[in-house]
Structure 1
Amino acid sequence: MTARSRAQSFDAAAAQYAASRPAYPAALFDRVEEFACRRLAGARVADVGAGTGIASALLRERGADVIAVEPGEAMAGEFRQALPGVPIVRGDGNALPLATASRDLVTYAQSWQWTDPGRSVPEAMRVLRAGGALAIWWNTTAFDVPWIREQHRRIAHHCGVKPRSAVRPSDDDAVRLAGLTGLRVTRRQLRWSRAVSLDTHLANLGSRSAFLVLEEADRRAFFVDERERLARTFPHDEVTETYVVDLLVALRP
């Protein structure tokens, strides 16, 4: 299964994605402002790979002037329903449909991995104004929480993907892996959690590309077993999901 196929798979579960995916903590946007050396209020922001608008909504709440870029038709449809006043254009990070030097900040929430940094980094730098910043971030696995670590291993095994290392990369390695070598980059990791119902937790898992590319029977088999297992761990139907947001902010040279 190619990365392109996995990236395109989200359209099949756009409503599920919108209803179940986690947002991001307020502290993340405080750090974006700190590292980008400007307030979000009044900033012209392009949110790329905007999906159903989770990050775009939070950026707008901070006063940013947001335009979204999203390749998926169904994902863009969910975005328009959630944020009818925010413009959204179809496209992806490898060829941004935005004017040169038109944005103060370009953001990628949970979407940088679907780009080719050899193309997406120059595109971000082209779109940014002098003194602008590229901010990319992910909600990543909290491996120190035993049940989350074990669930991650079950998912990797069932979906036939390589489990992520429980050892997080150093700052230098994270910059290299993101394709940002040669730029002035600041990194911060922020821990946060949310309490959701078991149904929401399972829907969140099911909206991941690793599951979306599986046959329906394979998906169903995993979630039947996982529901029974988690119901024993969380008998009151409330699951506390813990995340570590990994943030990288690169300044335009």
Structure 2
Amino acid sequence: MKIEITSQARSFEKAAADYAENRPSYPPAVLDAVEELAGRPLKGARVADIGAGTGLATALLQARGAYVVAVEPGPAMASQLRLRLPAIPLVLGDGDRLPLASGSFDVLTYAQAWHWTDPRSSVPEALRVLRHGGALALWWNDSDATVPWISEQDARLARLFGGDDGGAPDPTARFRGLPPELDFTTRRIPWTRAVPLTTHLANLATYSDFLMLGKHATDTFLATERNLLTQIFPDGTIEEQYVVSLAVTHH
């Protein structure tokens, strides 16, 4: 199982530049909630952003005044982060084997990254690196499946990838897999971004399932999506609606 997850996670290396250009970032309300649940401001905090990717969360943490170290396992993704954030300390590594000193950070963040780790390793590693009283913050950004056009697109994606395309969306799905030995407080934060249709489709193409699927099948699916979405959004601007699932616990 671990080999399969690692292979899919590393698939992002093939699309690092597209990921950097088209993936959505996160709304300010996410960091507001992190500060509230962590019980401290991010300004002046020592923060390690684990699985930092191209630096979407890293940039926001830096803008809040945190002293951020980025940890990323993929060289191509790390290169994109370095281009965007040349002043941020960056180390190659993953959440199962953190290349960080024990008790050295006030906050650890895993933005869209915790599910790529093995909790048998990543939980003790996170607790090792956090100082006493520090906070572990995990979050995921998912399309809001209560929106009809998104629900219909999700069903098409599920059929393509052989998943379950029936039933109502489960708003607690991301929280069910949290490590049971840690006492998390959770929040769900809705937000919206408006982007050109081309950006929406390019973002879909950076999903790990598509990167594993192959170019021909991906292009075929996205061509159909372009036609369907043009009927819904004739001006070519897609209103993407998301929900961030946030979980924070203390050491």
- What band does the TM-score fall into relative to the shorter chain? over 0.9
Aligned to 1:178: 178
Cα distance in structure 1, aligned partners of 2:5 and 2:159: 18
Aligned to 2:91: 89
Map of 1:1-253 to 2, 5 A cutoff?
2-163=4-165, 166-169=169-172, 174=175, 176-179=176-179, 181-252=180-251
> After superposition, what is the alpha-carbon deviation per residue over 1:184-210, rounded to whole angstroms, capped at 9, x for unaligned?
211000000000000000011110001
Q: Which consecutive unaligned segments of at least 5 residues does structure 1 have?
A: none
Q: Which consecutive unaligned segments of at least 5 residues does structure 2 have?
A: none
Query: How much does 1:220 deviate?
Result: 1.0
Cα distance in structure 1, aligned partners of 2:11 and 2:115: 14
* TM-score, L = length of structure 1: 0.95
Cα distance in structure 2, aligned partners of 1:163 and 1:62: 39
Count of residues paired in the alignment: 248
* TM-score, L = length of structure 2: 0.95
Cα distance in structure 2, aligned partners of 1:196 and 1:226: 15
Cα distance in structure 1, aligned partners of 2:49 and 2:91: 10
Query: How much does 1:162 deviate?
Result: 4.1
Cα distance in structure 1, aligned partners of 2:172 and 2:232: 30
> After superposition, what is the alpha-carbon deviation per residue over 1:53-78, rounded to whole angstroms, capped at 9, x for unaligned?
00000000000000000001110000
Task: Report the more deviating stretch, 159-168 or 62-71.
Answer: 159-168
1:243 maps to a residue whose letter is Y
CA RMSD of aligned residues (A): 1.5
Query: How much does 1:84 deviate?
Result: 0.1
Change (3 A) 1:9 1:163: farther
Task: Report the more deviating stretch, 95-104 or 216-225.
Answer: 216-225
Query: How much does 1:163 deviate?
Result: 4.8
3-state SS in 2 of match to 1:84: coil
Query: How much does 1:158 deviate?
Result: 1.1
Query: How much does 1:183 deviate?
Result: 2.0
1:141 maps to a residue whose letter is S
